[in-house]
Amino acid sequence: MTDNRRTIERYMDGFRTGDHEQILSCLTEDVEWWIPGMFRVHGRQAFDDQIENDAFVGRPVIDITRVIEEDDVVMAEGTVRARRRDGTWLDLAICDVFELENGRIRRLVSYLMETG
């Protein structure tokens, strides 16, 4: 496994466990996170502010089914299941495109589609 893939694994595990410090340790200081149609943020603090959402409880179930890597770009495809505060579930198909610099995430574009 490459260093870039290890960074992505560590990042995903941080989301699975709710470990903000672990997630943030995977990012550059000037990181950009864009979810088209939802938000675009720059910087670690702005990224951290988006990690958790008050509309959800507990930890998401993240299942990565395919990872493709070329140079400093890693694409992770899979599903996320998150419990809403009202007790219902949000099921998503995801495709995260990570651009890395020196083993850290510099830019992330997250494509999400509700499936359930």
- DSSP letters, 20-63, are HHHHHTTEEEEEEEEETTTEEEESHHHHHHHHS-TTEEEEEEEE
Residue 22: give the domain boundaries.
3-114
Residue 53 has pLDDT above 90, yes or no: no
Beta strands 27-35; 39-42: pairing state: antiparallel
CATH code of the domain covering residue 23: 3.10.450.50
Read off the pLDDT of each residue in 51-62 and give the average, rounded to a whole number.
91
Q: What pLDDT is stored for residue 58 in this prediction?
A: 92
Q: Which two tokens stand for residue 80?
A: 């996320």
- C-alpha dist (Å) from residue 112 to 25, 66, 76, 83: 24, 15, 12, 16
Q: What pLDDT is stored for residue 18 in this prediction?
A: 92
Q: Determine the straight-line distance between the first and last CA of the chain, rounded to whole angstroms.
A: 33
Q: What pLDDT is stored for residue 116 in this prediction?
A: 79
Read off the pLDDT of each residue in 30-59 and give the average, rounded to a whole number.
94
One-letter amino acid for residue 31 of the chain: V
Q: What pLDDT is stored for residue 20 in this prediction?
A: 94
How many independent structural domains does the chain possess?
A: 1
Q: What is the pTM of this model?
A: 0.94
The enclosing H or E element of 87 equals: none
